[in-house]
Amino acid sequence: PIPVILDVDTGFDDALALLLALRAPQLEVLGITCVVGNQRLPQVVTNTLKILDVAEAPEIPVAAGMTLPLLEPLRMPMLLHGRDGMADLGLPPSSRRPVEVHAVEFLRQALAAASRPVTLIALAPLTNIAVFLRMYPELHSRVGQLMIMGGTYAAAGNTTPLAEFNIRHDPEAAAVVLASGLPIRLYTLDVFRRVAIRRKEIEQFIAQPDPVAQVAGRILRHSCDYFRSDRALIGDAGAVAAVIEPEGVQGEQLPITVELGGTISRGQTAVDRRPPESRARLREWCEPAPAEVDVIHTVDAARYRALF
């Protein structure tokens, strides 16, 4: 199996992503790092531990990380995720505890100890990952791939008209990570919005005896109810699917910059979609040249729905 570490802000769709990763025989979850985002950090950790219980997971280390973005102020938790950030399911408290070390230190230890390069799956603001990359450049080569849910290719934003939440929550961290030169795949909002489960299927999940299916179903039902929709997105779980079955998505290696100025545009991922000739001809207008990452713009939604 592929060794992975998930960085999360659980988060109802982070919960779906964790359940998928924990159940996927193709992945070996080495650990989970938590960061402020959808909820304040203590609640993110609590939610994550509860999800490990639901999955009856073995002792997988969970590390608490950054409690604030690098520059931005702390913001109110996102209401759509419920008061507890995870659909208010009333899951019982967990007796699991997070590890003693900070998430950034956990990443250092885990990557240094791994026998092969590790895939990082970042489903939250990139604060933990940015601090880790800045502190331990000697460990960059231990990251086999960095799959990030974040940003947009051509779609509108979801937090501002132009910016996606994970990037907008900590634009400076995103800028550090996207410019790092690591092998990054960006699972953008364009594809995030495409993979959904219908209410009828959701009710079938809930009717199953398997607690993982039930909890996934109840989270999805919360989303249907909140948005008054007959379908619910699997959200962050799509980025996990893109690690399990990479053939289900398509992207392009493209220059990308995180807008750090602006008001409305702050946190936008400006993807250079111009033809390469005009990009080259007008190079002086984009100095210094932005880093390139694999920006995912197309997804086989039916395939990922079936996988999920």
Site of interaction with ligand BDR (CB under 6 A): 11, 13-14, 38, 78, 123-124, 149, 158, 164-166, 189, 235-236
In this complex, which beta carbon is closest to Ca ion, that of residue 106 or of residue 187?
187
CA dihedral 84, 90, 94, 99 (to 10 degrees): -10
In this complex, which beta carbon is closest to Ca ion, that of residue 187 or of residue 205?
187
In this complex, which beta carbon is closest to ligand BDR, that of residue 157 or of residue 217?
157
Burial 169-192 (b: 16+ CB within 10 A, else e): bbbbbbbbbbbbebebbbbbbbbb
Other C-beta atoms lying within 10 Å of the C-beta of residue 200: 9
Contact pattern from residue 230 through residue 269 relative to Ca ion, giving x for each residue in contact according to CB under 5 A and a dash for the rest? ------x---------------------------------
- Restricted to residues 95-134, the positions that interact with Ca ion (CB under 5 A) are 123-124
At closest approach, how far in Å is the CB of 11 from Ca ion?
Answer: 4
**If contact means CB under 5 to 8 A according to the sort of partner, which of Ca ion, ligand BDR, none does residue 260 touch?**
none
**If contact means CB under 5 to 8 A according to the sort of partner, which of Ca ion, ligand BDR, none does residue 269 touch?**
none
In this complex, which beta carbon is closest to ligand BDR, that of residue 67 or of residue 158?
158
> Which one, of 169, 243, 230, 170, lies nearest residue 198 by Cα?
230
Please give the Cα distance from 122 to 95 (Å, whole number). Answer: 25
At closest approach, how far in Å is the CB of 11 from ligand BDR?
Answer: 4
**If contact means CB under 5 to 8 A according to the sort of partner, which of ligand BDR, Ca ion, none does residue 151 touch?**
none
CA distances from 144 to 127, 147, 206 (A): 19, 10, 36
Q: Which residue is nearest to ligand BDR (CB)?
A: 165
Please give the Cα distance from 17 to 238 (Å, whole number). Answer: 7
User: Who's near 83: CB < 8 A, 6+ residues apart?
Assistant: none
- Quote the tokens at residue 137: 């450049």
Please give the Cα distance from 252 to 278 (Å, whole number). Answer: 17
At closest approach, how far in Å is the CB of 95 from ligand BDR?
Answer: 26
Do residues 106 and 31 make contact, with C-beta atoms less than 8 angstroms apart?
Answer: yes
In this complex, which beta carbon is closest to Ca ion, that of residue 9 or of residue 170?
9
At closest approach, how far in Å is the CB of 238 from ligand BDR?
Answer: 10
In this complex, which beta carbon is closest to ligand BDR, that of residue 109 or of residue 265?
265
> Which one, of 83, 92, 100, lies nearest residue 49 by Cα?
92
Tell me the site size for Ca ion, rule CB under 5 A: 6
